Amino acid sequence: MHYSHLLIPTLKEVPAEAEAQSHILLFRAGMIRKLASGIYDYLPLGLRVLRKVEAIVRQEMNRAGAQEVLLPAVQPAELWQESGRWQIYGKELLRFQDRHGRDCCFGPTHEEVITDLVRREVHSYRQLPLNLYQIQVKFRDEIRPRFGLIRGREFIMKDAYSFDIDEAGAEHTYRGMYEAYSRIFRRCGLTFKAVEADTGPIGGSFSHEFMVLAETGEDFLASCLSCDYAANLEKAEVPAMEGGSGPSPEGAPNLVATPGVRTVEEVAAFLMVQPEDIVKTLIYETDLGPVAVLIRGDHEVNEVKVRNLLGVTELLLAGPDRVRELTGAEVGFAGPQGLSIPVYADQAVAALPAMVTGANQTGYHLTGVHPERDLHFAKVADLRQVTEQDPCPRCGGALTILKGIEVGHVFKLGFKYSKALNAKFLDADGEEQFIFMGCYGIGVSRIVAAAIEQGHDADGIIWPLPLAPFQVGLVPINTNDEKTRETAQRLHDEFEAAGLEVLLDDRDERPGVKFKDMDLLGLPLRVVVGPKTLAKNQAEVRQRRSRDVSLVDLDRLLPYVKDLIDQGTP
């Protein structure tokens, strides 16, 4: 392929709103352009990378026994009303009406559509199991699309849905998908981790997320240094604490004036105590009314755990007016004593022998509060986020907290959609049963960005070999020199004939410009031909990642480059 024939509008400047390196570099390398907020054009090189991801995903899904389908992007409201999601999905669902005034949406996901297809076509256990997938454009109307392809509004996903006769069958399918996903991300050349994930309001079943490890990731995960345990921070458990809070301090709690002292740090400094001696009282609004949650001053609340414990979907910190109404004090002075709303305590709070809390009186705190003697809890549970100081819940080893970008999710759904849409089959005894479902997503366009978050330097992108738009960039450094031009063209033809993907930079540009662009594009190998090396019948081969440079005889060049690629070196 010739550079001059392709649309590769590279740029020096960085787009104003771009925060993530992948966004900046995809833009500067001329691989994507923004059409509207969270909506992007894929230019020829960007599309080549996307197609490579798709090809790997497709091969591994087919190998795992899944069948490809293509479902419509536009979906009728009736199906979403049947599942109940038309009401609860919120503004992220892009809704509109067709010319007949019928409600429709642009699909952010396809559980309803696929379940509808299967309920119409599958009637017997003999037709199961079934695993159907598609690679398709989806739309989620994010309020704040960010980071380019990482969190756009329009994106490309592989979504698969499995249908089994029972839970054991579904378990088997889930395992198969888990293994297929591991192969997909390995083949993409990504460093990733499969972590236990929260199942959300569906509950009951289990799920795993696949995270590409990157400093710029928005997700946090806890990973054990000694065993296989890894979990999304939302899900990571704190081991159950042994024993109670011990004997209570002498005398009743003390009311102490703490004028204008609100935060944990301010209270600790003012009363000369440690943050772990202070208890934060967080007031939340929920579907079940207001509640208070107690967390030790040096810990962070885990709202997913709180939501799961209470069995609610809505959980919002109460505003200042509501806090005043419920506690009688300004924000910063709420405490558990005498509250008329249910109080939920993290287990580390219930184990404190004496604590400092707000006094529900503006400008005052209480010291010497004992959990058993002075407080009443609706429930004590694990309600906080783990830290690197906590032991692994499985083996007691040390935990490390890492950052990642979620690129895949496998999920055991159960009967949620088959029951809502009445998808049944006849079992071997002729009895009607609901189909047991699973769903499995991969963010195809997000992988393109995640690969860059993991592979880049100050000069540009460093593609993993399997995703690179071309494997080799061929750079003649003086296109006015006939021998250079002819040799470059001959090498290009030979490389292509040998099945290599090669981009020949045939532009009449200075070598510096060509080198800069080649680094920015991130092709794994660069081959430079010029009058100087040609005089010795040689060419220069440079590896983008290691920056290793070798001079190679022209007659050995093709096997040399082929070897590097076959070994997956660059």
By CB under 5 A, what part of segment 396-415 binds Zn ion?
397
Question: Judged by CB under 5 A, which stretch of 21-29, 225-233, 428-436, 443-451 contacts Zn ion?
Answer: 225-233
Question: Judged by CB under 5 A, which stretch of 79-87, 224-232, 239-247, 274-282 contacts Zn ion?
Answer: 224-232
CB of 276 to Zn ion, least distance (A): 24
Q: Which of 29, 79, 188, 224 binds Zn ion (CB under 5 A)?
A: 224
CB of 239 to Zn ion, least distance (A): 11
Tokens 């946090």: give the residue: 220
CB of 233 to Zn ion, least distance (A): 16
CB of 224 to Zn ion, least distance (A): 3
Helix (H) or strand (E) holding 294: strand 291-296
CB of 300 to Zn ion, least distance (A): 21
Q: What is the Cα–Cα distance from 238 to 396, expressed in whole angstroms?
A: 11
By CB under 5 A, what part of segment 345-404 binds Zn ion?
392, 394-395, 397
Q: Which is nearer to Zn ion, 40 or 229 (CB)?
A: 229
Q: Which is nearer to Zn ion, 260 or 397 (CB)?
A: 397
Q: What is the Cα–Cα distance from 272 to 269, expressed in whole angstroms?
A: 5
CB of 393 to Zn ion, least distance (A): 8
433 — phi, psi (to 5°)? -135, 150
DSSP string of 42-64, one letter each residue: E-HHHHHHHHHHHHHHHHHHHHT
CB of 208 to Zn ion, least distance (A): 17
- List 284's β-bridge partners, or say none: 291, 317
For CA atoms 350, 355, 356, 360, give the dihedral sign: positive
By CB under 5 A, what part of segment 103-142 binds Zn ion?
none
Q: Which two tokens stand for residue 124?
A: 């017997």
CB of 228 to Zn ion, least distance (A): 7
Strand 364-369, strand 379-381: pairing: unpaired
Alpha helices, H only, 408-522? 416-420, 444-454, 482-497, 511-521
Q: Which is nearer to Zn ion, 192 or 229 (CB)?
A: 229
Alpha helices, H only, 64-105? 77-83, 85-88
505 — phi, psi (to 5°)? -85, 85
Q: Which is nearer to Zn ion, 254 or 400 (CB)?
A: 400
Q: Which is nearer to Zn ion, 115 or 232 (CB)?
A: 232
Q: Which is nearer to Zn ion, 252 or 398 (CB)?
A: 398
One character per residue 227-256, x = contact with Zn ion (rule: CB under 5 A): x-x---------------------------
DSSP string of 323-349, one letter each residue: HHHHHSS-TT---STT-SS-EEEEHHH
Q: Which is nearer to Zn ion, 261 or 399 (CB)?
A: 399
For CA atoms 490, 496, 499, 504, give the dihedral sign: positive
- Angle, CA 49 vertex, CA 70 and CA 33 arms, to 5°: 90
CB of 236 to Zn ion, least distance (A): 11
CA distances from 227 to 230, 392, 410 (A): 9, 9, 22
Q: Contact at 8 Å (CB) between 282 and 344? A: no
Strand 103-106, strand 74-76: pairing: antiparallel
Q: Which is nearer to Zn ion, 195 or 355 (CB)?
A: 195
By CB under 5 A, what part of segment 259-298 binds Zn ion?
none
Question: Judged by CB under 5 A, which stretch of 30-38, 226-234, 343-351, 520-528 contacts Zn ion?
Answer: 226-234
Q: Which is nearer to Zn ion, 393 or 570 (CB)?
A: 393
Question: Judged by CB under 5 A, which stretch of 22-30, 221-229, 304-312, 558-566 contacts Zn ion?
Answer: 221-229
CB of 222 to Zn ion, least distance (A): 10
Q: Which is nearer to Zn ion, 345 or 386 (CB)?
A: 386
Alpha helices, H only, 64-166? 77-83, 85-88, 111-121
How many residues bind Zn ion (CB under 5 A)? The answer is 8
Q: What is the Cα–Cα distance from 334 to 481, expressed in whole angstroms?
A: 79
Using the rule CB under 5 A, is 498 a contact of Zn ion?
Answer: no
Q: Which is nearer to Zn ion, 32 or 392 (CB)?
A: 392
Q: Which residues bind Zn ion (CB under 5 A)?
A: 224, 226-227, 229, 392, 394-395, 397
